[in-house]
Structure 1
Amino acid sequence: MAHLCPVWAYADYIHATQITDGYLFQRMMAAEWFLERFHLNLLDIKIDYFPYGTHSFHHGSCQWMSIDLCWHLHQICEWGGWSTEFTNLTIMKYLISWNDNPLYPDQRDFFKFD
């Protein structure tokens, strides 16, 4: 699943654009730079970007791993760095998000590249 890895995506982008300026590369790797472009992408597809931040990727990843990959909660918690003692169920706020849109019949279609 290398196509979903942000590090590989950045590396491919740097290679394709032939960026050699270290300052520009550092700026591009900053969360603010990424978030600004992410918000612009959401505007392009006419989705209000206000509820979405970089943490949205944790939500989406957890939901995708649970639903599509059928990962167990322990695996997801280990991936996300959360406790597997399940005393406060932090994982639940990632699996069930307040901004999920039930009007989309299948939100997971975003990950189907065919």
Structure 2
Amino acid sequence: MFPYADDADKGEGAAVPQKEIEVIRNWIKLGASHPADEEVLDPREHWPYRPPQQQSVPIVRDPSSIRNPIDSFVAVKRHEYGLQASPPMDKSRLLRRVYLDLTGVLRHSIT
């Protein structure tokens, strides 16, 4: 296939575009994997089909911002990435965001 890619007279139909040849070359360089070569896993082993397992709540360095167990998981990941917690939101801004999330419309645009 490759030696004749630039010579349309060697085969029937149009020549294979150079871009397609490069895709095939790269696929071969990467090992030419094919779905038939891959092990077929039992679909019941895929994570959404397994029963949920109880996770232990991680211990955090500063429990002052933790109000529920989910906050602990978030705090651990925040620490891993070197992020700081956002300050608490005032109630009017929180209500505005909730309204926008539920309706998809900004409240002031209705009036």
The TM-score normalised by the length of structure 2 is 0.25
**Structure 1 or 2: larger helix share?**
1
Q: Which structure has the larger Rg over C-alpha atoms? A: 2
Of the two structures, which has the highest relative contact order with CA contacts closer than 8 Å and spacing of 6 or more? 1
The TM-score normalised by the length of structure 1 is 0.25
